[in-house]
Every structure is written in C-alpha cells, then in structure tokens.
Structure 1
Amino acid sequence: MAQLDDYDLKILTLLQANGRLTNQELSDLVGLSASQCSRRRIILEQGNLILGYHARVSPDAVGLGMIGLIEVRLINHTSDYVESFHRMVAEQSAIVDAYKTTGDADYLLKVAVNSLAELSALISELVAGHRSVSHVKTSVVLNRLKENGLTIAAPAPLHQKSA
C-alpha cells in the first residue's frame, strides 16, 4: 500500500464515523470527485485499511446487555496451551473482543452476555475451567461511555425523591 495522504486519512475518518456514506456524499466532504473517492475507497479496502462495514447494534437489542472484561493469565506459554486457548476464544461467541496484553494478564477478553448467571457460567466453564488458564479476574461494565472511538449517549440520570 502506498503512503496515505490527507485525502485518504479524511476518507478513513469519515467512514469510521459513518460507513453508510455514499461516494457522492464522501466526495462532497473530502473535496474530490465521486469517482476519485470511489477509487480511493476501493484501494483502501483492497489494502485492508478498511476491514468492513457494519451496523452498531445496541447490546440490549440482541439480549446481550451485560458486558464483562476478563483478564486471563495462562499456566504457561507453550504453543500447545496458547493454540488451545486461541481456539477456545475463536469458538466462543460470547467473547466479542480478545487482546494479548502486557502486564499481569496475558489476555483481556470483552464478553457480551444476557445475564450475570450467563457470565458466571462462561467464566466457570470456558475460561477458568480451560486447561490453559491459571487465573482470571473479571470486571462487570456498569456504563459504556465510549466504544470504537464513538461516545455513547449518557443514560438518563436517576431521579431522587425530595425529602
């Protein structure tokens, strides 16, 4: 992939905020013709700088309103243990993001489930019970403030009764 210029960076930024922009809308915002924007978008897609387009769906809409962050430490880092853990992560649909990290934990998993009971079962059966795992530490997300670089609307404040 050739060096990105200011037009490419602007296209990427605009599409990250709204992947539904047409080439004409994009061209109006970037200052290029629609055909130039289309060619640049195709080059960015083929160069794997645009990885896809998707709808941001509320977790509540699909019954996955509980988000958990699970720090995982492996017993050891032999290829057998690592590959086995990676396979489990790939096969488990409740794990929506997985990162190999530095620090105390080897991995950080973001999971989306329906309930606390489902989160507990996931931790017990798939993470803590997996032969590669030596330690887990879980945090439950109370409020999502920002995801994928986008601010999430703040929940309505709780009203307190006056005395």
Structure 2
Amino acid sequence: MIDEIDSRLLTALQKNAHLTAQDLGDMLHLSPSQAGRRRQRLEAEGFITGYTARLDPARVGLHVQAFVQVQMATHAPDVVKGFATLVGTRPEVISAWTLTGEADYLLRVYCADLAALNRLIHQVLLPHPAVARVQSQIVMDQFKPDTALPT
C-alpha cells in the first residue's frame, strides 16, 4: 500500500524523473533523506519499474506511428511463444498487448516511413506461421501525448 505522500512522490517523478532527494523533500515537506528512502522503497517494491527519456519521434527519424492488430491462425503455445519472441526483438514495436475480441494482439509501432511499415507487416509479421491476418491503422495525429499514470 502507498500513502498520500507516496502518491505525490510518484506523481512528481512521473513528471520529472530527474528530481533529487532534496527536490522531492522540498515538494513533499520531508527531509531529503526521508524523501530518498521513500523513493528507494518504492523502487524496491516495484512501484517504480525504471526511468526513461521520452524522445521526439520525428527528431530521431520516426515519421510513421501505427497500431497493428494481429489475428492468429493458431494458438498453439510453442507457436505463440515464437510470435511473442519475434515481437520482442523488433525495435519498431514499442509496446504490445494481448486482447479480447477479433484481434489477438495490438502492437504499437514507430517506423521511419510507410515503406518501413510495409516491410514490417509483409516481411516480418505476415510470414510468421501463427499469423492469419494483420490490420494496421496509421496515426494521423496524436492530440494527447503519452502521459503519467493516475496515482
């Protein structure tokens, strides 16, 4: 369980992971050592799973974002495991979910251009023996950027 101070600490770190123990202490009305211990505890208990930098996709040459739905032809455990391994090795796939409904998986991908998305779909995903169908939706605009989780 987390208390209200932990919740505020998590909210602050989601906005700025560079906050020092001093910064957190000032924000939370704690000493830096208390704030630092709380942060370490939340990390140790798995509430904080890591720290990353958010990059501007266009600035690093990724101009196409798409959501790719994958419907499986078979759900044999070894074949599905192979598909999951394939998805895990592809840098274009930044997140993947197992779904209910018609599609079995939803992949969020970033590619340099439409040709790269086409190659991912036609040369990587569709040839996999477990894949029956792939449907993609290209993102035209992301009007709400990825944001912090509610705490």
Check whether TM > 0.5.
yes
Q: Residue 53 of structure 2 aligns to a residue in which SS?
A: coil
Which of 19, 22, 36 is the equivalent residue of 2:20?
A: 22
CA displacement 1:84-119 (0-9 Å, x = unmatched): 110101111111111111111111000111000000
Runs of 4+ residues deviating >3 angstroms: none
Q: Residue 146 of structure 1 aligns to a residue in which SS?
A: coil
Q: Does 1:133 align with 2:131?
A: yes
Instruction: Say which structure, 1 or 2, has more relative contact order (CA 8 Å, 6+ apart).
Output: 2
CA displacement 1:26-45 (0-9 Å, x = unmatched): 11111211111100101111
Shift of 1:123: 0.4
Q: Residue 47 of structure 2 aligns to a residue in which SS?
A: coil
Q: Residue 72 of structure 1 aligns to a residue in which SS?
A: strand
Q: Does 1:12 align with 2:10?
A: yes
Shift of 1:146: 2.4
Q: Distance in 2 between matches of 1:99 and 1:131?
A: 19
Which of 96, 108, 111 is the equivalent residue of 2:109?
A: 111
CA displacement 1:100-159 (0-9 Å, x = unmatched): 111111110001110000000100011112111111110001111223326xxxxxxxxx
Code of the aligned partner of 2:65: I
2:69 aligned partner: 71
Q: Distance in 2 between matches of 1:123 and 1:144?
A: 22
Q: Distance in 2 between matches of 1:145 and 1:51?
A: 27
2:53 aligned partner: 55
TM-score where L is the length of structure 2: 0.93
Superposition CA RMSD, Å: 1.1
1:157 aligned partner: none
Q: Does 1:144 align with 2:142?
A: yes
Code of the aligned partner of 1:128: L
Structure 1 unaligned residues grouped into runs of 5+:
151-163
Tell me the matched-pair count.
148
Q: Distance in 1 between matches of 2:47 and 2:99?
A: 23
1:160 aligned partner: none
